[in-house]
Amino acid sequence: MEPVTKTALVTGASSGIGRATALAFAIAGYRVLATGRDQARLDLLTAAHPDGIETVVGDIDGPKACADLVETCVSRFGRLDVLVNCAGIIKRADVEHTTDADWRSIMGVNLDAPFYLSRAALPHLRETKGRIINVASDWGLRGGEHAAAYCASKGGLVLLTRAMARDHAREGITINAVCPGDVVTPMLEKEAADEGLALSEALKTWDSESPSGRMTQPDEVAALILYLASDAAAQINGTAMLIDGGLCA
């Protein structure tokens, strides 16, 4: 019998943790559908690893876009083994300074899209006894300052993960969340700007806040996601795993 090539659908793959995750899965031998909003960055990703990565550019804004993405993956690869919900946005603001539009867009990308993508993916994951890995945050487990909508969205994602894990365990599907602390990605540049901080100063502060003395790198988060997708992780289900250098300890 031909060995099966597993497939992964990774959102937010044009930068940061999503890019590192798409690469890690491709290097591990998966066929990867990497999605993001920036075609030029997605082209750099496929140039970095020409074998195994295909790309789709677009916004994950609503049920149709998410269902179409899952169908694209299944029609190109014939199966879906792993869904990694990594796309996310932040706007640093307390509740009084969060506009209706910011609340909706943060909820739309960080919580609605994982729900729509998971719903569309489940029939295919049932076939493959597949995995969903949601990229939440330490701020999905505790509050952070000036990030009310972001914390609410990530807290919702952690509980969506846990509820789904219970519902689908008997079908052989596992659903977990990873909860990074500060990771060196373009999102941190946005956060520094929102907070009116010089990037170099903000990076020094965030390094020193971690007991490990440094922030986490995207490929360290990608390695955890890849592990959660592996056969060795079959009994890990419904968890929200911190990867934060001890920040929340």
Ligand X SMILES: NC(=O)c1ccc[n+]([C@@H]2O[C@H](COP(=O)([O-])OP(=O)(O)OC[C@H]3O[C@@H](n4cnc5c(N)ncnc54)[C@H](O)[C@@H]3O)[C@@H](O)[C@H]2O)c1
Binding site for ligand X (CB under 6 A): 11-12, 14-18, 36-37, 59-61, 86-89, 109, 135, 137, 180, 182-183, 185-188
Long-range residue pairs from 47-55, CB within 8 A, at least 24 positions apart, any chain: 48/23, 49/23, 51/26, 52/25, 52/26, 53/22, 53/23, 53/26, 55/13
Q: How far is the CB of 52 from ligand X (least distance, A)?
A: 19
Q: Which residues, listed in sequence order, are joined to residue 135 by a DSSP beta bridge?
A: 178
Contacts of residue 31, Cβ cutoff 8 Å, sequence gap at least 6: 5, 6, 7, 8, 52, 54, 77
Nearest to ligand X of 108, 172 (CB atom): 108
Angle at 83 between CA 147 and CA 176, to 5 degrees: 60
Nearest to ligand X of 9, 188 (CB atom): 188
Q: How far is the CB of 216 from ligand X (least distance, A)?
A: 8
Q: How far is the CB of 1 from ligand X (least distance, A)?
A: 37
Q: What distances in angstroms separate CA 159 from CA 23, 90, 154, 169, one per listed residue?
A: 28, 19, 9, 15
Catalytic residue among 30, 116, 150, 227: 150
Beta strands 7-10; 82-85: pairing state: parallel
Nearest to ligand X of 80, 222 (CB atom): 222
Q: How far is the CB of 87 from ligand X (least distance, A)?
A: 4
Q: How far apart are CA 235 and CA 1, in angstroms?
A: 27
Nearest to ligand X of 137, 237 (CB atom): 137
User: Catalytic residue at 150?
Assistant: yes
Which residues are identified as catalytic? 150
